[in-house]
């Protein structure tokens, strides 16, 4: 029996208007195009794909840091897509984000104490004395100490800054955290520490994660289910182990074949994709992956693939519709 759905994304679209000239027709970049998935309470849901596939835009649209073009975002049974600014501001206490760049996500002019207590102050939580206590508590939880309260972000390493960014997200005790490439800017040795910290916080605070990454090794370690995105569309969704052991979509197979082999006796067939990722300004007709697909059929060039439920997989591919 599946746990309770915490987040439901239905037909989410985010298009950007592009001006190409005075007498040229207006064009649109389809950054996210008709994406739907559900995130269950307590799980870690991964979003993977090449750079520019729309996974980070999806994460920001969920929190309405970028307003979506159309679609529905259901959080705890409420469609938050049409909420006013004030109602959305109050709701963000339950929905937080950990950003990719630990150098840009912290205000360089504020001390760590000011950075950590600001969310509590904005939401009117606790007295000033209690806020300081909360800041000390969360610093110790993420592996820092009271000694760091009056330091500034530039005095910390990248790993320490990311710990502070995580502390800022967790201090409000949210239900959902969008983690956008939270370890990609860190050294490999520090990555494992931050991943273990995220797993510990999930257990201790009953957190739910949407984990956005292009590092498939990290995704396999931390996630329960994975959605694979290509050119703004979700092309495959399944349990993490099913994705890694029995991928269905040709794009997923190509992604997994590019993961480096760690064992000297292991062999793996490398899938080399033809060409480059098409421009989102002018995506191909039919299946957007068909110009690069080694299994392309005639129908792929003219018709969009249906979303097929294979029981343990959901995949958008014509190979499974016949």
pLDDT tens-digit readout, 8-20: 999 999 999 887 7
When mean pLDDT is compared over 12-21, 78-87, 185-194, 219-228, the highest value belongs to 219-228
Q: SS3 for 67?
A: coil
Judging by DSSP bridges, how do beta strands 208-212 and 176-180 pair with one another?
parallel
Distance CA 15, CA 29 (A): 5
> Is the pLDDT higher at 78 or at 102?
78
Q: Confidence band (pLDDT; 50, 70, 90) for 61?
A: very high
Q: Confidence band (pLDDT; 50, 70, 90) for 121?
A: very high
Distance CA 286, CA 303 (A): 4
Q: How many C-alpha atoms does 282 have within 13 Å on its Cβ side?
A: 2
Rounded (10°) CA dihedral 210, 215, 217, 220:
20
User: Would you report the helix, strand and coil content of the chain in percent, each value rounded to 5?
Assistant: 35, 25, 45
Bridge partners (DSSP) of residue 96 are 177
pLDDT at 184: 87
Q: In the chain, what percentage of residues exceed pLDDT 90?
A: 68
Q: Confidence band (pLDDT; 50, 70, 90) for 44?
A: very high
**What letter would DSSP give residue 305?**
P
Q: Confidence band (pLDDT; 50, 70, 90) for 271?
A: confident
pLDDT score of 52 more than 90: no
pLDDT at 26: 77
Q: Confidence band (pLDDT; 50, 70, 90) for 267?
A: low
Distance CA 273, CA 123 (A): 49
Q: SS3 for 33?
A: strand
pLDDT at 322: 64
Question: What integer is the mean pLDDT of 236-259?
Answer: 91
Task: Tell me the fold of 5-94+172-320.
Answer: Rossmann fold (3.40.50)
Question: What integer is the mean pLDDT of 300-305?
Answer: 92
pTM above 0.85, yes or no: yes
pLDDT at 4: 87
Q: Confidence band (pLDDT; 50, 70, 90) for 71?
A: very high
């Amino acid at each position: 029996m599946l746990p309770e759905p915490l987040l439901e994304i239905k037909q989410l679209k985010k298009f950007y208007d592009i001006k190409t000239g005075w007498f040229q027709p207006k064009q649109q970049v389809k950054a996210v195009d008709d994406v739907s998935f559900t995130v269950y309470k307590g799980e870690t849901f991964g979003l993977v794909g090449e750079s520019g596939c729309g996974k980070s835009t999806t994460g920001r649209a969920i929190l309405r840091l970028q307003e979506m073009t159309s679609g529905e975002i259901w959080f705890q049974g409420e469609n938050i897509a049409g909420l006013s600014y004030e109602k959305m501001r109050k709701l963000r206490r339950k929905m937080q984000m950990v950003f990719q760049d630990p150098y840009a996500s912290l205000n360089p002019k504020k001390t760590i104490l000011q950075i950590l207590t600001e969310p509590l102050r904005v939401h009117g939580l606790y007295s000033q004395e209690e806020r300081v206590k909360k800041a000390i508590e969360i610093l110790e939880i993420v592996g820092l100490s009271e000694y760091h309260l009056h330091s500034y972000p530039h005095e910390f390493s990248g790993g320490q800054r990311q710990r502070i960014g995580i502390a800022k997200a967790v201090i409000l005790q949210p239900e959902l955290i969008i983690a956008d490439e939270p370890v990609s800017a860190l050294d490999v040795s520090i990555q494992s520490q931050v991943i273990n910290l995220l797993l510990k916080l999930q257990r201790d605070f009953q957190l739910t994660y949407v984990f956005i990454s292009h590092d498939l090794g990290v995704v396999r370690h931390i996630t329960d289910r994975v959605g694979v995105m290509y050119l703004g569309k979700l092309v495959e969704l399944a349990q993490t182990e099913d994705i890694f052991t029995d991928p269905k979509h040709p794009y997923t197979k190509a992604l997994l074949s590019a993961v480096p082999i760690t064992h000297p006796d292991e062999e793996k067939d490398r899938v080399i994709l033809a060409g480059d990722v098409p421009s989102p300004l002018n995506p191909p007709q039919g299946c957007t992956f068909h110009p690069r697909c080694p299994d392309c059929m005639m129908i792929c060039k003219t018709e969009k693939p249906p979303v097929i439920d294979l029981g343990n997989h959901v995949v958008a591919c014509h190979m499974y519709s016949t």
